[in-house]
Amino acid sequence: MSDSRPIIMAITGASGAPYGVRLLQALVQAGHRVSLVVSGHGLRLIQTETSLASVDGLRAHVGADAWDQWVTLYDDADRGAGPASGSHRARAMVVCPCSMGTLAAIAAGTSRSLVERAADVTLKERRPLVLVTREMPLSSIHLENMLRVTHAGAIVMPASPGFYNKPTTMDALVDFVVARVLDHLDVQNSLAPRWGEAP
């Protein structure tokens, strides 16, 4: 891997924690450094939607040795941590899943937490920012915020799995979305079949 800069990854409190857990696992398995921030509500959703009860459980799920080699964990309350600065040499940032509250804060530039500040920095430094939103239906406020961050340079990727590959498991649905996110982070993967290619 030629680019050793970390990918900043945030997990926030939108339903869709399995997407975040799988994305983290895939990034680590691919040998990419990750600057990880898990919000308090993000941790609550991990506990609610997966079998993982804590960040330690997430570390064990990813693999303790791999986590220790590739993952640096940051406190969401620490707005003075590395990812809060443009001098933190990240290559991209992804918020997966991204709550509508986090989206709104990024759209407004309020930076009340490390997740929000890191996203703000990512935009101002013109680095890729991928927001994996998970909400439905969408209000006009949500849509306006999505348009606002898109105009600022972010990529909004609602967690909408495709069905042309005839998925038969929840894991296949999750992998479809995670594969698309990895594509936009320029991370090679073969998690899901591509249109027109043999399985």
Q: What is the pLDDT of residues 84-115, one digit of tens each?
A: 999 999 999 999 999 999 999 999 999 999 99
User: How far, in whole angstroms, is CA 4 from its chain's centroid?
Assistant: 18
CB atoms within 10 A of CB 5: 14
Domains of the chain by residue range: 7-184
Q: Do 46 and 20 touch, CB atoms closer than 8 A?
A: yes
Can you give the pTM of this predicted structure?
A: 0.95
Look at residue 198 in the predicted model and tell me its pLDDT: 65
Q: Enumerate the H helices of 125-185 as residue ranges.
A: 140-151, 170-184
- Class at the top of the CATH hierarchy for domain 7-184: alpha beta
| pLDDT, tens digit (0-9, with 9 covering 90-100), for 34-73 | 999 999 999 999 999 999 999 999 999 999 999 999 999 9
Q: Enumerate the H helices of 50-196 as residue ranges.
A: 55-62, 64-70, 100-108, 114-124, 140-151, 170-184
